[in-house]
Chains A and B, each alone.
Chain A
Amino acid sequence: MQHTRRHALKSLSMGTGSFLLTPFLTQVQLQAAGNASALPKRFVFVVKSSGIVPEGVTPEPFAGEEARNESLADVPLPKSMAALEPFKDQLSIVQGLSGKMCRGGHSSWFGAMGVYMTGGEHDRGAILRATADAELAKLNPAPFNHVGLAVRGPALSKSFGGVLYPGITATAANKELPFQGSPDLAFEQLFGSAISASGQGQKRFRTQKDLLDFMVDDIRKVNEAIPSAEKNKLDAYLNAFEELQVRHSRLTDMRDRIKTNAPAFDDKFKSDIEEVRQEAHFDLASAALIAGLTNCVTLRLDNLSTVYSDLGLAKHNHGIGHNESSRSQEECRNIIRKHHCGLLADMAGKLKAVPEGDGTMLDNTMIIFFSDSANKHHGDCFEWPYVVLGGCGGKLNIPGRYIRYPKYGDSGCRTIGNWWTTLLNAFGNPIEHYGNEDLVLKQNDSSYRGPLNDLIT
Chain B
Amino acid sequence: MIVPGSIRVWRSFCRYIVLAIALWPVTALADGAAVDLQQVLSQHCSDCHSNDVQEGSIRLDDFAKLDSARKESLLNRIEEQVFLGQMPPRDAGDFSVEQQRDLLSLIKGTFARLGTTSLFREKIKSPGYGNYIDHERLFSGEVKAKAFSPARLWRTSPYVFDSVKSEFGADPKHLRQPYIVDDKQGIRDYASLLFADSAVVDVLVTNAGKSANRLMQRETIYRNIAEAKQPPDNTKLNEAIARHFRRAVYREPTTDELTRYVALFRNSAEDSGRVEALRVVLMAVMLHHEAVYRIEVGLGPKDEHGRRILSPTELAFAVAYSLTDKPPDRTLLRATKEGKLRTSSDVRSQVERLLSDETIHKPRILRFFQEFFGYIHAHKVFKDAKRSGGFAYYGENYPEMYERDADFFVMKILDNDTDIFHQLLTSDKYYILRRQTFRNTLYDFYQKNKDELDAGKLSEAKTLELLDRLDLRSWDELNRKYNLHNFNKGFNGSVRAIKQIVKECRQWKNTEEEDKLLHAMQPLYKKYPMVYDLADDEQDFLLPQPYKRPNRAGMLTHPAWLIAHSLNDTTDPIRRGKWIQERLLAGTVPDLPITVDATIPEDHSKTLRERLVVTEQQECWRCHVKMNPLGLTFEIYDDFGRYRTEESLDRLPKKSGKAPTEPVDATGVLTGTGDDTIDGEVTDALDLIDRLASSDRVRQSIIRHAFRYFMGRNEMLTDSQTLIAADKAYQNSNGSFNAVIVSLLTSDSFLYRRSVAPE
Contact = CB atoms under 8 A, between A and B. Distances in A.
A2 B122 contact: yes
Contacts of A241: 201
A35 interface: no
Interface string A255-280: 00000000000000000000000000
Given A171-B199, A240-B202, 15 more contacts: A3-B197, A120-B394, A121-B395, A122-B486, A126-B379, A128-B380, A207-B277, A227-B297, A227-B755, A229-B757, A230-B151, A233-B195, A240-B200, A243-B198, A442-B569
Nearest to A171: B199
A440 B569 CA distance: 10
Contacts of B268: 207, 210
Contact of A207 (B197, B276, B757): B276
Residue from A2, A173, A207 whose CB has the most chain B CB atoms within 10 Å = A207
Interface string B277-316: 1011001100111001100010000000000000000000
Contact of A126 (B155, B202, B279, B380): B380
A219 B280 contact: no
Contacts of B284: 211, 214-215, 218
Nearest to A16: B198
Contact of A234 (B151, B153, B382): B153
Given A210-B267, A215-B284, A233 B293 contact: yes
Contacts of B177: 174
A203 B152 contact: no
Given A210-B268, A230-B151, A105 B394 contact: yes
B201 A240 contact: yes
Nearest to A208: B280
Interface in B192-229: 195-202, 205-206, 210
A103 interface: yes
Interface string A157-191: 00000110100000111111010000000000000
Nearest to A241: B201
11 contacts: A3-B195, A16-B198, A120-B395, A126-B380, A163-B210, A174-B177, A175-B180, A233-B196, A234-B289, A237-B195, A237-B201
Contacts, number: 155
B382 A439 contact: yes
A439 B183 contact: no
A63 interface: no
A236 B758 contact: no
Given A103-B394, A228-B755, A443 B651 contact: yes
B69 to A, nearest CB: 15
A178 B176 contact: yes
A31 B509 CA distance: 68
A8 B200 CA distance: 14
Nearest to B296: A230
Contacts of B548: none
Contacts of A226: 153, 297
Given A2-B117, A178-B176, A230-B153, A206 B272 contact: yes
A344 interface: no
A120 B401 CA distance: 13
B529 interface: no
Given A229-B755, A229-B758, A210 B264 contact: yes
Interface in B473-511: 486
B174 interface: yes
Contact of B196 (A104, A163, A171, A236): A236
Residue from B200, B271, B272, B379 whose CB has the most chain A CB atoms within 10 Å = B272
Nearest to A439: B384
Contacts of B461: none
Contact of B272 (A105, A203, A233): A203
A228 B287 CA distance: 22
A239 B384 CA distance: 45
A17 B397 contact: no
Interface string A8-23: 1000000011000000
B183 A436 contact: no
A214 B264 contact: yes
A233 to B, nearest CB: 5
B522 to A, nearest CB: 15
A204 interface: yes
Contacts of A176: 176
B273 interface: yes
Contacts of A239: 197-198
B568 A439 contact: yes
Given A126-B379, A234-B289, A211 B384 contact: no
Interface residues of B, number: 64
A156 interface: no
The 8 residue pairs across chains A and B that have the minimum distance between CB atoms? A240-B201, A203-B272, A236-B195, A240-B198, A227-B151, A229-B758, A207-B276, A227-B755
Contacts of B210: 163
A207 B384 contact: no
A290 B89 CA distance: 65
B150 interface: yes
Contacts of B380: 126, 128
Nearest to A174: B180
B260 A233 contact: no
B377 to A, nearest CB: 10
B393 interface: yes
B144 interface: no
Contacts of A203: 271-273, 276
Interface string A371-407: 0000000000000000000000000000000000000
A1 interface: yes
A92 to B, nearest CB: 31
Contacts of A284: none
A419 interface: no
A146 to B, nearest CB: 11
B557 to A, nearest CB: 25
Given A2-B122, A210-B264, A240 B394 contact: no
Given A204-B276, A206-B271, A215-B287, A240 B196 contact: yes
A117 interface: yes
A25 interface: no
A84 B386 CA distance: 42
Contacts of A200: 276
Contacts of A443: 384, 387, 569, 651
Contact of B289 (A163, A171, A219, A243): A219
B713 to A, nearest CB: 12
A222 B256 CA distance: 13
B756 interface: yes
A222 B289 contact: yes
A163 B122 contact: no
Interface in A393-437: 436
A43 interface: no
B385 to A, nearest CB: 10
B201 A233 contact: no
A246 B550 CA distance: 64
Interface in A94-144: 101, 103-105, 116-117, 120-122, 126, 128
A173 B183 contact: yes
Contact of B197 (A103, A126, A240): A240
Interface in B180-194: 180, 182-183
A178 B183 CA distance: 20
Given A1-B122, A244-B201, A162 B196 contact: no
A424 B433 CA distance: 43
Contacts of A210: 264, 267-268, 271, 280
A228 B759 CA distance: 11
A117 B393 contact: yes
Interface in A35-84: none
Contacts of B197: 3, 8, 236-237, 239-240
A230 B174 contact: no
Contacts of B174: 162-163
A105 B122 CA distance: 45
A228 B297 CA distance: 11
A436 B382 contact: yes
Contacts of B151: 227, 229-230
